[in-house]
Each structure stands twice: as structure tokens, then as C-alpha cells.
Amino acid sequence: MTHHPESIRINKAISDSGYCSRRKADVLIEAGKVTINGTVATLGDRAMPDDEIRVDGKPIKANDNLVYIALNKPVGITCTTDRRVPGNVVDFINHKERIFHVGRLDKPSEGLLLMTNDGDIVNKILRAGNRHEKEYIVKVDRPVTSDFIKRMGSGIPLAELETTTKKCEVEQLSRYVFRIVLVQGLNRQIRRMCEYLGYEVLELKRIRIMNIELGDLKTGAWRNLTQKELQELNSMLMDSKNTPQSQRTQN
């Protein structure tokens, strides 16, 4: 099928506006909440630049004020844009722009969380299979052994997810603490891996996503990404491929 060269998929048009990510846009489309020129949109529909797109009856428009933020998420804050949820990350950061999180950190976890209103970069970062590194410091309830480090790094079978984790870099830092670098984003991956080996995660902190480092950013604080960080990030994302929706980062 030939498309007009200026048309784009409706989910991309919504994410480009800064309203939400493409994944969330697909959910809204499936729920019948999106219209194009008054007609209810369906998945795969395309829009022209002058088409009127509405979500829940409200028009969206292109957002030229793009925001890229690194947040040191505290324990207890929930990664959701649903403001009905107490302690949601959107209310916590209280930014003047409508922003959303890139990937997730579950409620008991802390550390680096990227937030933006650029739907394109969200999808690129979440792509599976392109070895986008995420680095964590983890404290467990039992002494870390050389066997534990070896098995964690070699791949752990996760029956509930019907997969085996990819090989990854794991390093012991102290008796109860280790560092791990993941290249995939399975749901609660580190916690599930540790549980398989009979360990319980007591503390989990993400300290890096690709080239973005947490550094000395204080818990609960946030900063704008630097121009250099953005340039490096975009360079790393140039060859990204689509991410299956079932694979999400949440540790």
C-alpha cells in the first residue's frame, strides 16, 4: 500500500505532540478515544499534517518545547502517568510540561529514571535486542558468592516469562552487594533472577541508562539532560528497531 509521503501513523502523531508514548497512544486508539477529523481512529491509521487529531475530544498539537529529564526516583514513587495513583511520578516531579517516563522502576526500586515529552525517543530507548545497557547496584539478603555471580551473568531461566535472560556483566562489590549491567528489559528482571537463585533483593538502584549516568544527583532531585548527553544518546539510537510490547523495563 502506498502512503502519502507527508502522512504519519496516528500513534506517532500523538507521541510527537508530547501527549504520551506510542505504546500509550495505541491503547487510547484501541479504546476508541482518538479521532481524526471527527472519525474514530483505528490502529494503523495515518494522518496528514493539517488533520485534526483529538484525544478524549480535546485537540492535540505539535510540541516544539521538548523536555529531557534525568530523575533520581525515590523508593515509594510509582512509575505511572495515571494521576489518580497516589505517589505517581508525574505529580512527584510536578513539571510544567506534560511528560512521561521512559521504561520503569518498580515502587521498591530507586535511581535513574528518564522522563520526556518526546514520544520518538521513548520508543527508541525501549527497543529490545539492540544492547542498550542499563546498570544497577543491588543489595541482597544473603552473601554473594562466586557461583551466584557466574550464574547471574550466564543467563537465568524465567519460566513465568517463558525465556532465559541474556548473558550480562555482573560484578561483586561487597559481601551483600553486586553490580549488574542488563541489555534487555524484562519485567522485574533482576528480582526474578535473584529469586531463582534463592536470594531476595533488599535494595535496587539504577545508576546508568546507556550514556546517561545518575552521578551525584540527590534522591528525589532531577536535572535536564545536557546537549552532549542528548547528542550521544541520539547517535546510539540511530539503528534502533521496534520493541515487542511485552518487554518492559521494571526492576
Q: Annotated catalytic sites, by residue?
A: 106
> Which residue, among 90, 81, 88, has the nearest Cα to 24 in the 3D structure?
81
DSSP three-state, residue 201: strand
CA distance 63 to 139: 41
Can you tell me the distance from the alpha carbon of 199 to that of 159, in angstroms, rounded to the nearest whole number?
17
The amino acid that residue 168 corresponds to is C
The kind and range of the H/E element at 125 are helix 119-125
How far is CA 209 from each of CA 116, 191, 220, 236, rounded to the nearest angstrom? 14, 18, 17, 12
User: If we measure between CA atoms, which residue out of 158, 172, 171 comes closest to residue 246?
Assistant: 158
User: 137 CB contacts (<8 Å, ≥6 apart)?
Assistant: 173, 177, 178, 179, 203, 204, 205, 207
Rounded Cα distance between 168 and 135, Å, is: 10
Q: Which helix (H) or strand (E) holds 229?
A: helix 227-237
